[in-house]
Structure 1
Amino acid sequence: MVTALLNYLIKQSSTPLSDVDKQLIRKAFVPKQFKKRQFLLQEGEICKYISFIVKGAIRQYTVDDKGNERVLNLGIENWWMSDRESYHKQSPSIYNIDAWEETQVLMLPKLDGWYDKVNAIPAFCEMRKKLDDAHHMAMQCRLNSAINNTAEYRYDELVQKYPEFLQRFPQHIIASYLGMTKETLSRIRNQQPKTLHP
């Protein structure tokens, strides 16, 4: 499983990984498997790991007072998932994170200084900074789209940017992620050519 992460780091960074770096990564990251609907994190718990998805699909969401799920993030292979605020502050999380498929992850613990040790690896640090910038821009675009764009536009945007999500997650999760009802998403899909979606 660690080979997938090493290959990912090599692609994402211009800085080479030394043998010492690779050995540290193998020691730091904990491999774990989750069944569908099994939690990586539940609301009220402290997030103890940042997870790199080797195989599978994961969602991050909240549950409102009426029991409705509000999906914040979706992730598939070569994506990272965690509640970063809870992880870094060691404060209770407001999120749930669960596996939507049989999922394999590599988990980087906060405790015992593993995050700081791995973050000191030049290639990992370079990758993290790139991802932080990309994540900030993506969240800014998503927020702008939620405020200013129609439901149809938001769906088309998802089709263009993350078509894999439509294959991996059911319609009600996609609808929640896009901030619309299942009925609205169904109407939009029915109005479009079948070639645009599964």
Structure 2
Amino acid sequence: MDHQSIIESINKHIALSENELLIFLSSLKRKKIDRKSLILAQGQVCEYIYFVESGALRAFYLDESGKESTIMFAIKDWWVTDMYCFINQKPSMLMIEAIEDSLVYQLKKTDLDDLYINVPQFEKLFRILMQNAYIREQLRVIDNLSLSAEERYEIFINKYPEVAHKVKQKQIASYLGITAEFLSMIKNKKAKT
């Protein structure tokens, strides 16, 4: 099995010995996910964190009335899970679905805990990943509080052009906290200028 993409990703942050790399790779399970399939459902205990080798995933919250609120997208070289529920081994608050046919590596919480002990570099890796995620989410909250929907959309398409081309307009609208109709008006206005 070719693990090149995940090896290249972790090498951006940490250096592993051959033995440490083998320990890590042995804890991964590669999984194919068909488009529109769920890898995590609300209420299901969140046992895994996923690394996207190819494809695209979407994590979203589904409220009691059936309204979806997109929390995040994940494309190649990104990690995704319901972090609170993963860390605490609780039933998931989020759903994670494949937006397109995808290949992921899944890493079980117990295996990650073992990696922290047996390959201490993984504490550094996940500290860096968590810091980056926290910063990204903090900036998103500030943008949501201080910017117009038009400005937030512009930031989204400039910051995540690959994501913008892979997902549906209603999913982008859900991520931005607006309706698909309002996003359509924003795009039409932008096209005219």
Shift of 1:22: 1.1
Q: Which residue of 1 aligns with 2:12?
A: 11
Higher strand share: 2
Which aligned runs of 4 or more in structure 1 are off by greater than 2 angstroms?
117-127
Q: How does 1:1-198 map to 2 (within 5 A)?
A: 1-13=2-14, 16-111=15-110, 114-120=111-117, 121-193=119-191
Shift of 1:122: 4.3
Shift of 1:98: 0.9
SS in 1 for 2:100: coil
Residue identity matched to 1:95: L
Identity of aligned residues (%): 30
Q: Distance in 2 between matches of 1:122 and 1:9?
A: 13
* Runs of at least 5 residues in structure 2 that lack an aligned partner in the other structure: none
Greater Cα offset, 161-170 or 125-134: 125-134
Residue identity matched to 2:38: F
What RMSD in Å do the two structures reach over aligned CA positions?
A: 1.6
How many equivalent residue pairs? 191
Q: Distance in 2 between matches of 1:93 and 1:134?
A: 22
Residue identity matched to 1:129: R
Give me the TM-score of the superposition, normalised by structure 2: 0.93
- 1:9–1:123 CA contact under 8 A, matched in 2: no
Q: Distance in 1 between matches of 2:64 and 2:131?
A: 33
Residue identity matched to 1:84: M
Shift of 1:118: 2.2
- 1:50–1:87 CA contact under 8 A, matched in 2: yes
Shift of 1:117: 2.5
Q: Distance in 2 between matches of 1:131 and 1:90?
A: 19
Give me the TM-score of the superposition, normalised by structure 1: 0.91
SS in 2 for 1:56: strand
- 1:2–1:106 CA contact under 8 A, matched in 2: no
Shift of 1:132: 1.3
* Runs of at least 5 residues in structure 1 that lack an aligned partner in the other structure: none
Change (3 A) 1:122 1:193: farther
